[in-house]
Amino acid sequence: METKSLSLNYALDNQYFLRNGPNKDVYLYLSLTGGPSPKQSQRPPLNLALVLDRSGSMSGEKLAYAKKAVSFVVNHLSPTDTLSIVHYDDQVEVVQKAAPVSDKTFLHQKVDRIAAGGSTNLSGGMLEGYNQVNSVKQPKYVNRVLLLSDGLANVGVTEPQELQQLAQRQFRQEQLSLSTFGVGADFNEDLMTNLAEYGAGNYFFIASPDQIPAIFAKELAGLLSVVAQGVQVEVTFPDTYLTCSRVDGYPYVVEEDRVVIKLGDIFSQQEKGMLLKFDCDQPFERDIAFGISLTYSDATAQLSPVKERHQLPLQVTESEETWRSG
């Protein structure tokens, strides 16, 4: 079950289903693990938008930390990468439109001039970050928005659920992921964590400036070692007998007899796991099978398309001993 850049593993909680037994649910676990890193010459270019909160609540140390973080990212990008910088308070401003990273000194000067302002239009800043990435997006790029904020939104869209849906919609429709960086001690951790989860990115907490190199080194190391892009898992099941009621781990869509889970990019050695729960609507009359398909673009082979298909049987038994052994 291994491919050049991804390995897929799967298992049922029990390979047997006891006819007329107590089993009412079926659980399917799936995991994907990234393979070796691509060579530097093979890595996909990055297309990043840095979205910086400069509202009044970010004044002082918080804004200083955030600006240091932006400068760290600038220093570690190459001319083949594309960068845009957005900052916001109640107004949203594009400091640097999406463009190749060429004059780093000029970018540092722009970042240094950012000063704290008024209210917090987090939704406006996010949307402009997405717009910048979208304006130059190409399939060969690793496309991501990096949001640095205390998450204290009070202008524009402020409801956490609506903000989460915004991030989820951008990922599902545009394949744009979002990583969030909570700045300072008094930030909205729930919102920043959920934005990263719904945006299929990572969440980090910046408590002090000396943490910035390690935190952003971790995020950039992942982005620079992408082995698979546009990763999607699809599970088909016999909906005569089963209903998919839950998928733990990642956002998903259920469409009649199939579940679609979009996972975005996967880095070298990264593992993504998900647990699917199926409710039994009526007793099985025969053995059944789950179909599992995996599709992605192989970043270690010039983004060549890869598709795998697998069958996972679930056998019906009348033997309680056999069922317990499964």
Q: What is the pLDDT of residue 1?
A: 44
* pLDDT score, position 41: 57
- Is a pLDDT exceeding 70 seen at residue 316? yes
pLDDT above 70: residue 3: no
Mean pLDDT on 154-176: 92
Single residue among 162, 194, 223 that ends a domain in this structure:
223
Whether 256 and 307 share a structural domain? yes
Summarised one tens digit per residue, pLDDT across range 250-299 is: 888 999 899 999 998 898 888 999 999 999 988 887 899 999 999 999 98
Is the pLDDT at 2 greater than 60? The verdict is: no
Residue 1 lies in a domain: no
In angstroms, what CA-CA distances link 191 with 199, 243, 311? 12, 31, 38
DSSP 3-state percent helix, strand, coil across the chain (nearest 5): 30, 40, 30
CB 249 within 8 A of CB 276: no
Domain CATH number, residue 119: 3.40.50.410
Answer whether 0.85 is exceeded by the pTM: no
Averaged over 221-236, what is the pLDDT? 91
Is residue 183 in a domain?
Answer: yes
pLDDT recorded at residue 61? 84
CATH number at residue 251: 2.60.40.740
The count of other CB atoms within 10 Å of the CB of residue 39 is 8
User: CA 128 → CA 15, 49, 93, 98, 201, distances in Å?
Assistant: 48, 9, 9, 11, 18
Distance CA 244, CA 259 (A): 8
Whether 21 is covered by a domain: the verdict is: yes
Judge if 31 and 96 occupy the same domain: no
User: Is the pLDDT assigned to residue 309 strictly greater than 50?
Assistant: yes
* 122 and 270, same domain (yes or no): no
* Same-domain check for residues 61 and 135: yes
61 and 103 within one domain: yes
Residue length of the chain: 326
- The confidence band for 302, taking pLDDT boundaries of 50, 70 and 90, is confident
Distance between CA atoms of residues 88 and 148, nearest Å: 11
CA angle 129, 135, 34 (to 5 degrees): 75
Q: What is the largest CA-CA distance in the chain?
A: 74
Nearest to 213 by CA among 75, 83, 114: 75
Helix or strand or coil: residue 241?
coil
Q: How many domains does the chain have?
A: 2
Answer yes or no: is 242 within a domain: yes
Report the percentage of the chain scoring pLDDT > 90.
54
Q: Which of 38, 31, 91 is nearest to 228 (CA)?
A: 38
- The answer on 182 and 35 residing in a single domain is no
User: What does the mean pLDDT of the chain come to?
Assistant: 89
pLDDT digits (tens, 9 = 90+) for 45-100: 999 999 999 988 888 888 888 888 889 899 989 999 999 999 999 999 999 999 99
The residue among 190, 223, 256 that closes a domain is 223
pLDDT in tens, 117-160: 888 899 999 999 999 999 999 888 999 999 998 888 888 899 99
Which residues have CB under 8 Å from 103's CB, separation 6+?
Answer: none
Within 13 A of 285's CA, how many CA atoms are on the CB side? 4
- Measured distance between the N- and C-terminal CA atoms of the chain, rounded to whole angstroms: 21
Tell me the torsion sign for CA atoms 197, 199, 200, 201. negative
pLDDT at residue 180 above 90?
Answer: yes
Residue 305 in any domain: the answer is yes
Last residue of a domain, one of 223, 257, 273: 223
Close Cβ partners of 208 (under 8 Å, ≥ 6 residues apart): 65
DSSP state of 143: E
Q: Which domain holds residue 29?
A: 6-39+227-325
Q: Which residues contact 156 (CB under 8 A, 6 or more apart)?
A: 121, 122, 123, 124
Kindly state whether residues 212 and 245 are assigned to the same domain.
no
**Reduced to 3 states, what is the DSSP secondary structure of residue 200?**
coil
